[in-house]
Amino acid sequence: APLPRPNLLEQALEAGAPLGVEALPPEACALAGGLGLKSALVVPFRAGGFEGGLLLGYRQGRRFGERLLGRLHQVSTLLALVLEKAHFLELLEAEEERLKALMENSQDVVYVLDREGLVRFVSASVRTVLGYDPEGYKRAPVAALDFVHPEDRLAAEELLRDLLAHPGEVRTGEFRVLHADGTPIPMEAWGRNLLDEPRVRGVVVNLRDLRPRLEADRLKGEFIAAVSHELRTPLAVIMGLAELLREEGLSPSAQESVDLILESAFRLKTMVDNLLDTSRLEAGRFEVAKRPVNLKPLLQELARSFQGVARLSGVDFQVELGELPLLEADPDRLVQVVGNLLSNAFKFTPPGGQVRLRARPEGESLLLEVADTGPGIPQEELPRLFQRYARAKNARARGVSGTGLGLFISKHIVEAHGGRMEVESEEGKGSLFRVILPLYGPHPVG
């Protein structure tokens, strides 16, 4: 059977040009017979994924010249553009409505500022978060910095200057913003300079209320402090009994087990101390109790508690302690620092490797060094090594346990003594941690 002939619209679309039919047979168009059409013009158009056409029917026969068809071709192009623009406008309006709904229901406040810091746009969420009219900036000039707490104004001004000086780059800060009722609200600010972006032409600043996070941190700190205090009592009992057992003249294998108990208990005590000290630092209650002390016997006792783990892990543990002068320091805190460094060294040093503890005076300083032959630390990770909860990638990759608090706490303890910590490391060649403490005076050395 022959294939059905394409209808007039299909013919025009296939040709991509207006179609003029001067003598229209009834079978060529379903409407022709019903309406008594004698001639017809079909103007096709395509817009995006949509195609259609405009049908002009005549009950009297007509002739269609080339000039008319050419003009209709231009009409077809314009009609397609109009329809495509209408389609894009519909999509744009839908996107704007979606964005508006997101802005109105966001818990953050979004500002767009000009180069002088005047508000050019603010999201509707400013009403619920800060209590201000989101349309207020349209009635009178509004300077965003006027709503920052006076004590934090310098920090906010510095953030704006930083944003203006670095187009396209993200900058962050924290400061208090005044609620409409005068209540200062701690905010985290995230900003980006998009003054050169034609669609924005402003500095975009996102403000997020920090109160929920601060409250969660407070509750977390209280929980950690409570648990840590509860752990201290049984740990003290375990360590005390292990010390008594070590004095009983046990067999070598039993002695090794007691040493391992002591080392494990010391490691757990160090972890508990680190957690407690982190809570104290966050609460501003961290302190050291200094007194004249000779660290040598304390370091010798600390090294002795690590001998058992050194034997069991197959690591050569070298201790080099010279005669040490008296130091104005908190002995428990400094033992905590060296214990943190030794714990890390033994964690990362493989069997057959070496860990070395050294202490010696140098000029008006006391140097404490812990070196290992472990995997080392990549150079790009060294700047953040002493940050809270920071752990090297090779620690996570090797499954080495830890909280990432040891070096963070140790740095604060050393700085509270007027000293500093240094690290030398090369990936694949081990690490050296150095503590430099002043022998005289409270000021940092070097």
3-state secondary structure 118-185: EEEEECCCHHHHHCCCCCHHHHCCCEHHHHECHHHHHHHHHHHHHHHHCCCCEEEEEEEEECCCCCEE
Same domain, 71 and 165: no
253 lies in the same domain as 373: yes
Q: Are residues 181 and 256 in the same domain?
A: no
The domain boundary, picked from 63, 82, 102, lies at: 102
Q: Same domain, yes or no, for 18 and 110?
A: no
Residue 444 lies in a domain: no
Say what the pLDDT of residue 116 is: 92
Tokens 């009635």 sit on residue: 139
Strands (E), 14-73: 19-21, 39-47, 50-58
Beta strand pairing status for 431-438 and 184-194?
unpaired
CA distance 373 to 356: 9
Q: Is residue 443 part of a domain?
A: no
Q: Exposed, middle or buried, 280 (CB in 10 Å: 0-12/13-18/19+)?
A: middle
Within this chain, do residues 204 and 224 fall inside the same structural domain, yes or no? no
Q: What angle, rounded to 10 degrees, do the helices at 295-313 and 331-348 form?
A: 20
Buried b / exposed e along 202-218 (16+ C-beta atoms within 10 A)? bbbbbbbbbeeeeeeee
**Count of structural domains within the chain:** 3
pLDDT score recorded for residue 297: 93
Same domain, 190 and 72: no
Whole-prediction pTM: 0.50
CA dist list (Å): 338 to 107, 199, 273, 413 = 45, 56, 13, 11
Is 38 in a helix, a strand, or coil? coil
Judge if 420 and 308 occupy the same domain: yes
Q: Are 277 and 332 in contact (CB under 8 A)?
A: no
Position 1 in a domain = no
Q: Per-residue DSSP letters for 345-368?
A: HHHHPPTT-EEEEEEEEETTEEEE
Task: Give SS3 for 33.
Answer: helix
Q: Residues of the chain whose pLDDT is less than 50?
A: 1-3, 396-401, 443-446
Domain range enclosing 169: 106-209
What's the CATH code of the domain at 51? Answer: 3.30.450.40
* DSSP percent split of the chain into helix, strand, coil, nearest 5: 50, 25, 30
Burial per residue of 108-138, b for 16 or more beta-carbon CB atoms within 10 angstroms, e otherwise: bbbbbbeeebebbebbbbbbebbebebeebe
* Alpha helices by DSSP H, 284-366: 295-313, 331-348
422 membership: H or E segment, kind and range: strand 420-425
Q: What does the pLDDT read at residue 400?
A: 46
Same domain membership, residue 404 and residue 320: yes
Domain boundary among 174, 209, 244: 209
